[in-house]
Amino acid sequence: MTESIVIDTNVLVSALRSKQGASFKLLNLVGRGLFKTVVSVPLMLEYEDVLSREYLALPQKAVDDVLDYLCAVSSNRRIFYLWRPVLKDLKDDLVLELAVEAQCTSIVTYNTRHFVEAEVFGIKTETPLEFLTRLELL
């Protein structure tokens, strides 16, 4: 059975800042059938907001292409209930709610300490390196 994951925004930022490292490798494996990614409208809006900021120095077309690809290959889920507040950061709560609704196995993030409570729902929090290593994709 293929695992389903939610990719936290900080992983996308890291992947688009550098072609080095596990986050870039993870992004390049999205849509290849090795794992499933799930998104929601609130998460896509957060991705768009953060990735469109000037500090990434990416052309808007590149940001749009990445977001369009993620929408095309990911399962788009609707959230009909809110678990809030569970986590300290409301933006982290929207990631957790999506992972719970989609019955994901993992949230892939660099802020694993922000998602400790995800374990209550049976969801692992892993860095991109930990996730790729566990699936033997490195």
CATH number for the domain that contains residue 92: 3.40.50.1010
Q: Look up residue 108 and give its amino acid.
A: V
> What pLDDT is recorded for position 133?
96
Beta strands in the chain (DSSP E): 4-7, 36-39, 75-76, 106-108, 124-126
Residue 89 has pLDDT above 90, yes or no: no
> What pLDDT is recorded for position 43?
95
Q: Look up residue 60 and give its amino acid.
A: Q
Q: What is the mean pLDDT of residues 66-89?
A: 83
Q: Look up residue 128 and give its amino acid.
A: P
Q: What is the mean pLDDT of residues 48-75?
A: 89
Cβ atoms of 39 and 30 closer than 8 Å: no
Q: Flag the least confident range among 58-62, 73-77, 96-100, 101-105.
A: 58-62
Percent of the chain's residues with pLDDT above 90? 70
Instruction: Supply the range of the domain harboring residue 124.
Output: 4-134
The total number of structural domains that make up the chain: 1
**Residue 42: which residues within 8 A CB-CB, separation 6 or more?**
79, 94, 98
Residue 21: C-alpha distances to residues 62, 66, 69, 133 (Å)? 20, 18, 20, 12
For 6, what's the count of Cα atoms within 13 Å in the CB-facing half-sphere?
31
